[in-house]
Amino acid sequence: MNPPSSIEVAVKPAFELAPYRSLGDETLTRRIAAVRSDWGKQLLILGHHYQQDEVIALADLRGDSYQLSRMAAASDSCRAIAFCGVHFMAETADILANRPERLEARGGARVQVVLPDLAAGCSLADMAAIEQVEMAWEELDQLIGTSDITPVTYVNSAASLKAFCGRHGGIVCTSSNAAAALNWAFDRTRRALFFPDQHLGRNTALAMGVAPDQMPVWDPHADSLGGNEPEVLERSRVILWNGHCSVHQIFRPEHVLKWRAQVPGIKILVHPECRQEVNDLADISGSTSKIIQAVEDAPAQTKWAIGTELHLVNRLKNQHPEQDIYFLSPLVCMCATMYRIDLAHLCWSLENLAAGTPVNVVRVDDDTARWALVALSRMLEVA
């Protein structure tokens, strides 16, 4: 996986990564704590819910991607962010923390955003490249006119796609406000182009009453029109991008049926990135935050089979022993790119930051950041 262009690599780090790999967790944790102590409130370690337990235990803030970026950007004292997540999250943190009004309030001082491991990408975000979206937009303009289409990108996307939406009258959404974003789009145009996750777009639009035959899937690798006939696109309301989350793609209807047969009274709780067939069978479908809240609010002895990333499910299981919590799939499935960030990478990146030779600095260029912020700001208006 190639790192996106918004990632800058230091010319010469003071400390090479290799020696850190042989250090034990106790030593790494102690050295991370030393950097945190020296920097105080000027440093924030952000931990996405899907991170390994050893990493999440050291996070100053925990949450989903956009929530973390907003919280960090709101800090007056923060001058550096170590984002334990994936590259699109670090990009969003850079955009929000260094937006014009925040830069002005800090006298022009930028918040440095560091991604501890460059290999921490996102297969879902990578399924929609800016060149592919621009080509699709041109084809759609020739067929039905893009003046009648609003682009909507899931926050799990590159900064370039957020900027594309900003430039073309579009909006960003999260899994919790996707319906609000689609309603916003429908208030402006007949159609929406929703990328990169087809399942979130489909599940959201179906719940809003959009018919299945009005939601064609655009395949960016097809020869023309995303593999669709012209008349299919002409009657569309939501054009879905052919992308998916590799974690949530594994959950299947037979998994739901098996748990219902084996455990009477069990509730099925899934993320809307799951397939429609799974989403339709679930008792509750919602964002990561909604999944956590549902478990926290449930009475003792509640039985759950949860369809989302394994680290989060196991963490909920450990935090709520009064409930019976199971992973929905019989197969082990974790977010492989999230899993790559470990204590060694975190310690290495923090000690280089402290030494003045920061590695894996994420900086979105000014023009992309400006237009991405436009789309993100629209999202806040409808959230």
In the chain, the number of structural domains is 3
HEC readout, 19-83 = HHHHCCHHHHHHHHHHHHHHHHHHEEEEEECCCCHHHHCCCCEEECHHHHHHHHHCCCCCCEEEE
90 touches 319 (CB < 8 A): no
* Residue 381 belongs to a domain: no
264 shares its domain with 238:
no
Helix count and strand count (H, E) for the chain: 18, 15
In angstroms, the CA 193 to CA 137 distance is 9
* Residue 382 belongs to a domain: no
132 shares its domain with 239:
yes
In angstroms, the CA 283 to CA 268 distance is 5
- pLDDT tens across 188-207, in order? 999 999 999 999 999 999 99
In angstroms, the CA 51 to CA 28 distance is 17
95 shares its domain with 165:
no
Q: Single out the residue in 195, 221, 243 at which a domain terminates.
A: 243
Mean predicted confidence (pLDDT) in 345-369: 97
Contacts 24+ apart (CB under 8 A), 323-330: 323/295, 323/298, 324/263, 324/266, 325/295, 326/259, 326/263, 326/266, 328/251, 328/255, 328/256, 328/259, 328/268, 328/270, 329/250, 329/251, 329/252, 329/255, 330/255, 330/258
346 touches 45 (CB < 8 A): yes
Check whether 337 has a pLDDT greater than 70: no
Q: What is the CATH number of the domain that holds 138?
A: 3.40.50.10800
Q: Single out the residue in 225, 243, 261 at which a domain terminates.
A: 243
Model's pTM, two decimal places? 0.93
- pLDDT tens across 130-177, in order? 999 999 999 999 999 999 999 999 999 999 999 999 999 999 999 999
**Is 234 or 74 the better-scoring residue by pLDDT?**
234
* Residue 181 belongs to a domain: yes
146 shares its domain with 226:
yes
Segment of 240-244, 330-334, 378-382 carrying the highest mean pLDDT: 240-244
Give the chain's largest Cα–Cα span. 63
What range defines the domain where residue 85 resides?
7-121+338-364
Query: Is the preceding peptide bond at 216 cis, omega within 30 degrees of 0?
Result: no
* Residue 274 belongs to a domain: yes
143 shares its domain with 56:
no
Half-sphere exposure in the Cβ direction for 184 (13 Å, CA): 22
Pairing of strands 267-270, 303-307: parallel
154 shares its domain with 216:
yes
What integer pLDDT is reported at residue 2 of this predicted model? 47
Phi–psi pair at 59, nearest 5 degrees:
-75, 135
- Look up tokens 């289409």; give the residue: 149
